[in-house]
Structure 1
Amino acid sequence: MSHIALYRTWRPQAFQEIVGQKHIVQTLQNSLREGRFTHAYLFNGPRGTGKTSAAKILAKAVNCLNGPAEEPCNECANCKRITEGAVMDVVEIDAASNRGVEEIRDIRDKVKYAPTEVRHKVYIIDEVHMLTTEAFNALLKTLEEPPAHVMFILATTEPHKLPATIISRCQRFDFRRVSLEEQVERLHQVCREEQIEADDDAVRYIARLSDGGMRDALSLLDQIMAFSGKHVTYADVVSITGGMASEQFEKLVRAVKERDVSAVLQLVDGFMQEGKSADKCMENLLYYFRDLLMVKMVPGSLAVTERIIDIKPFAEVAEAFTTQELISMMDTLNYYQTEMKYSMQPQTLLEVALMKLCSSSGVIGRNSAEVNAAGTERASDGLVAQLTGRIQKLEEQLAQLMKNGVAPAGGNAGGGGAGSGSAARGSSSAPVAIKKIEKLDAYLLGRDDPDFKAALQRWSQVLGRVKEQKITIHAWLVDGEPVSLHDGALLVAFKSSMHRETTEKPANKQLIEQVMSDVLGKPLRLITVMLRDWKAATEQAKPAESQVEELKLVQEDEPGAPKEEWIHEAIQMFGEDLVKIKED
């Protein structure tokens, strides 16, 4: 007979064989003993924790010829045939490949018929979150009130994707990750039964790599047994899984502490020569620093003792660093690990990250008071330089205004009196304001455009689509807000100049314009402006508007103003061609 994978050979066939889910096993057994099992269950939790196995065991328990009982006998014809998958009334459906409404309608039509071979029809729908919305709607009523002979068991790793209406109709059971000790005990049992000699540290390392999934642990053990034969060692596990022993990390971290860049690069090159991948090295290195931090801060914690076999070497390495150093180094490594996902040269990023740790260790190693003092001094110098630059810029702007004949607010220009200052402001400030508004006057009028109002209503959809395509561009674009639309161009005002400049980059701008065209249904160009400039333009436009309104509201028979004076002012303002004088 051909070899059967360990995770299939050792799949639980009774509730007592399920590892690490005592809270669920006890609840189901009590309900079976009292005959209070329900028509719909939802099993959710991480992969490889026993959801589908528990569903099959429950199907056997309710249909066992010696039951319903707390445990299926696994001896009767019903139990054996359900285990083999040969009972037509116990149906296991993969929702990932049968996610459409037609498949669910087929179930809905068949549930009304009584079972032919066993007491209860059982439908096990695996990865149920993959069903479409229409399929969920078709399942809803049947799930709520199925016939008395039908039971539904839904299994999923992502319960948050299920509609609340589905969840509310089921008894929900949350499967948890299997603890390290429970996994180690189960793996030792498997090794004994398979007549394999396995070192304890090797078994513990397998359990750590499985991340709480019993199925993953058995698959790894199966792979390592094929490599090692009858004796599984820690070195074999490290070699076959592409990991690195803690001793290698210890050498690497000590080289970083000593700022020995040459030794660091040689170690990285050695890892690559051994066939290790750069992203796996980065992941394991982060775990190593995490363990160092845990040993330093909470040495007696269960989180430490579960992950670390021998704490003494970790404690010695952790002693060479401060807590802040370890946190800072983890931040750096985490940043470069994220960048690796989008890089064509992950090894280079790994080397750069380690060289950065080497170059920064000198700063980290100094006395904390010196570091704080130096940081404060640099911050003060930077603030002074920034304020000095702003004052200089304001002085230049003031000198330019004075040159154009504009008096400062509240003062006199050229030593003249109040009247002369007012006259100067009246005659000289107007051209400056008009010059500034001329660039945005068309957009000021476009604020009431119906197309702009429609674009404003759908701006959140534009942001959402940009986020789906490239989240970094969304981070810049969200700082801006649409303020006007004119001649096929959407004007977006930004609070930050840095966000505006990044958005204006050709590649980023092209993506945004494409998204705007798709969402708004018409080709649009992106024009940007600083929000403070836009507000200044709108403020400058207000006086002109108020003057026009004021002229319209002047009444002809207002006392105190000669009629000839009104006529003269009207001609001066609008021209002789536009003024028509009518006698009363």
Structure 2
Amino acid sequence: MAHLALYRAWRPQTFQDMVGQQHIVQTLQNAIRENRLSHAYLFNGPRGTGKTSAAKILAKAVNCEHGPAPEPCNECETCKRITEGSVMDVVEIDAASNRGVEEIRDIRDKVKYAPTEVRRKVYIIDEVHMLTTEAFNALLKTLEEPPAHVMFILATTEPHRLPPTIISRCQRFDFRRVSLPEQTARLREIAEQEGMSAEEEALTYIARLSDGGMRDAVSLLDQIASFTGGNVTLEQAVDATGGLPSEQFARLAAAIRDGDVSAVLHEIDEMMKAGKSADKCLEQLMHYFRDMLLTQLAPETAGTSGRVSDPSELRRFAADFPRERLFSIIDLLNRYQTEMKYAAHPQTMFEIALIKLCTAVGQTTSAEQPGVPASASSAPAGDVAKLQQKLAELERKLDAALQKGTGLSAAGKGQPSVGSGRGSSARDSSSAAKPVRSRVKLEPFAAAAQSPASKELLAKWPQVLQRVKEERVTVHAWLIDGEPVAWADGTALVAFKNTMHRETTDKPANKSMIEGVIGSILGEPASLATVMLKEWQDAASGTAMAEQAAGEELRLVPEDGSEPAREPLVEEALRLFGEDLVVIKDE
């Protein structure tokens, strides 16, 4: 039997055949009985839950020769022809391939004509969210005031992509996922009617894989029955769908629990030899640990929502994993699953993910504590406490030096200056609230902002972003907040609007990768410097003001031509801070 043939044979033909949608069935049947049908319906919900089937059943019910009736008879000529799709007045349109304004205008022109074969014209628009904005605008007026003989039924899996003006003109019905017991009972009925021999565990496994979609469940049963010759067992169902046996899950969980890297690599090698997909294996392993977590937190629901067929084995392993460790395992697998989509070698990513889980036994990795270096997370608690105490002492000395007005040079010669913002913050009692200024000297960059090299960097920045995205999509998410503003002395200066994005980009691993990409694009070694956008704008405007004032400076010179006398306070200030012009702006 060909794939999907079983579903076509068992596709719902009456409202009573709709599995798991009793609330919708009852509402539509009552509307037909009381002659309170709407001119437009919106059926939305997950795939395979019966939206298009319900639309066709409704079209048959309102046009049945023995109706309108709460249930179509499926025996009259009209019902049979609507089922076959040969009635010209019942039109099913796939909006994914007919999404333009011209197709909708054609509908708008034809709705004014009365039906020729049946009682009411019915337009079923599947995947309606794929229509263009112009097509929705063309549909809007017709949907608002259609002729009395026309009914529209819109079906979609993504109702949030529909304009609110369209949704407000429809009666909306939300189709829900079919529950596991309802799916299993329906699959058992189909297997008995088709003469299949199916194990109960296999049917439950198929229902879990379908994720609430009845169509997917029937299609999987059809596929597995074709693969096994009509004898559906759990082992064959797992093998036919590319899943992992529960024994392999158990061996992997034991290896991760014991930190046995060799056993993990051996199991991965066995999976790849069996033709398994690395991303699917990682996804199923994440579901396995999710089921284990549910076994700890909600034992009464774990058996009905999980994908593992041996709950007793799951409970045995759940006792060996602390709850916090299960959370960290699921989080790490989820992150690697996201990165695997862009990886050139998914198997390598899968191996690294599981090796990381093995090496994290009994400790919290730096990946689980964002912002904490790996060396700090593995350092003894005593050393960390000493470092924190020393850091606090240095901060106290720095604050005392600033309050005395001695500047940063008193804290130790050779230290880089933090900028003019520190001097003003020393006079403010709430200095902690002031943002830390950049340690990058911005004057060379401000002078080179309009140079040919800076313009070349700006022109090639989209290529840099694309290459970074290919290398590591997570770094691209942070870097895209930045804007290249200047190139000077082999260094690209990038200005950021968000402090967190800048700090994450400045991490050594991320910064090194970005520098390599910039160097390869520009054809020369490159360094990366970052600055906050507001600080850069201040520096750039200050440089422009200084250049403008340079040609207009007026000096008072005595008659004998000697240098004018300076005030003692000015002399002391020049001795402490130098003669360079500093522009101070209040934030």
Partner amino acid for 1:117?
A: E
Shift of 1:11: 0.5
1:475 is aligned to 477
Rounded to whole Å, the distance in 2 between the matches of 1:248 and 1:192 is 31
1:508-535 Cα offsets, whole Å, 9 max, x none, are: 6888x9xxxxxxxxxxx99955349748
Cα gap change, 1:529 to 1:409, in 2 (>3 Å): closer
1:380 is aligned to 385
Cα gap change, 1:567 to 1:52, in 2 (>3 Å): farther
Higher mean Cα deviation, 262-271 or 10-19?
262-271
Rounded to whole Å, the distance in 2 between the matches of 1:131 and 1:77 is 33
2:505 matches 1:499 = yes
What secondary structure sits across from 1:363 in the alignment?
A: coil
Shift of 1:358: 1.6
What secondary structure sits across from 1:74 in the alignment?
A: coil
Aligned residue runs from structure 1 range 93-492, under 5 A: 93-301=93-301, 304=304, 307-363=307-363, 376-377=381-382, 379-380=384-385, 383=388, 399-400=413-414, 439-440=444-445, 442=447, 472-478=474-480, 480=482, 492=494
Which runs of 5 or more structure 1 residues have no equivalent in the other structure? 366-370, 403-407, 411-435, 447-451, 514-524, 555-562, 573-584
8 Å CA contact 1:295, 1:304 repeated in 2: no
8 Å CA contact 1:463, 1:474 repeated in 2: no
What secondary structure sits across from 2:250 in the alignment?
A: helix
8 Å CA contact 1:476, 1:503 repeated in 2: no
Q: How does the TM-score come out when normalised to structure 2? A: 0.74
8 Å CA contact 2:465, 2:480 repeated in 1: no
Cα gap change, 1:490 to 1:306, in 2 (>3 Å): closer
Rounded to whole Å, the distance in 2 between the matches of 1:324 and 1:401 is 43
8 Å CA contact 2:228, 2:236 repeated in 1: yes
1:93-142 Cα offsets, whole Å, 9 max, x none, are: 11111111111111111111100010100010111111111111111111
Rounded to whole Å, the distance in 2 between the matches of 1:181 and 1:227 is 25
Partner amino acid for 2:191?
A: C
Partner amino acid for 1:505?
A: E
Shift of 1:564: 8.4
Shift of 1:382: 5.2
Partner amino acid for 1:222?
A: D
Cα gap change, 1:141 to 1:379, in 2 (>3 Å): farther
CA RMSD after TM alignment? 4.5
Shift of 1:443: 6.8
1:431 is aligned to none
What secondary structure sits across from 2:300 in the alignment?
A: coil
Rounded to whole Å, the distance in 1 between the matches of 2:240 and 2:216 is 15
Identity of aligned residues (%): 54
Rounded to whole Å, the distance in 2 between the matches of 1:372 and 1:473 is 22
Cα gap change, 1:353 to 1:44, in 2 (>3 Å): same
8 Å CA contact 1:479, 1:499 repeated in 2: no
Q: How does the TM-score come out when normalised to structure 1? A: 0.74
What secondary structure sits across from 2:361 in the alignment?
A: helix
Partner amino acid for 2:29?
A: Q
Rounded to whole Å, the distance in 2 between the matches of 1:268 and 1:343 is 17
Cα gap change, 1:541 to 1:94, in 2 (>3 Å): closer
**Total equivalences in the alignment:** 504
Cα gap change, 1:64 to 1:302, in 2 (>3 Å): farther
Partner amino acid for 1:530?
A: V
Shift of 1:441: 5.3
Rounded to whole Å, the distance in 1 between the matches of 2:253 and 2:136 is 52
1:426-475 Cα offsets, whole Å, 9 max, x none, are: xxxxxxxxxx675255479x8xxxxx9xx9xxx9x999999999854543
8 Å CA contact 2:81, 2:87 repeated in 1: yes
Which runs of 5 or more structure 2 residues have no equivalent in the other structure? 366-375, 399-406, 417-421, 425-440, 566-587
8 Å CA contact 1:466, 1:473 repeated in 2: no
1:349-374 Cα offsets, whole Å, 9 max, x none, are: 22222222222114369xxxxx9997
Partner amino acid for 1:355?
A: I
1:530 is aligned to 531
Higher CA-based Rg: 1
1:582 is aligned to none
What secondary structure sits across from 2:55 in the alignment?
A: helix
Rounded to whole Å, the distance in 2 between the matches of 1:259 and 1:490 is 43
Rounded to whole Å, the distance in 2 between the matches of 1:401 and 1:569 is 37
8 Å CA contact 1:463, 1:477 repeated in 2: no
8 Å CA contact 2:238, 2:245 repeated in 1: yes
Cα gap change, 1:320 to 1:189, in 2 (>3 Å): same
Higher mean Cα deviation, 74-83 or 268-277?
268-277
- Structure number with the higher helix fraction is 1
What secondary structure sits across from 1:361 in the alignment?
A: coil
Partner amino acid for 1:439?
A: P
1:428 is aligned to none
Partner amino acid for 1:380?
A: A
Cα gap change, 1:130 to 1:400, in 2 (>3 Å): closer
Rounded to whole Å, the distance in 2 between the matches of 1:571 and 1:298 is 85
Higher mean Cα deviation, 542-551 or 531-540?
542-551
1:66 is aligned to 66
8 Å CA contact 1:246, 1:288 repeated in 2: no
8 Å CA contact 1:111, 1:147 repeated in 2: yes
Rounded to whole Å, the distance in 1 between the matches of 2:308 and 2:513 is 47
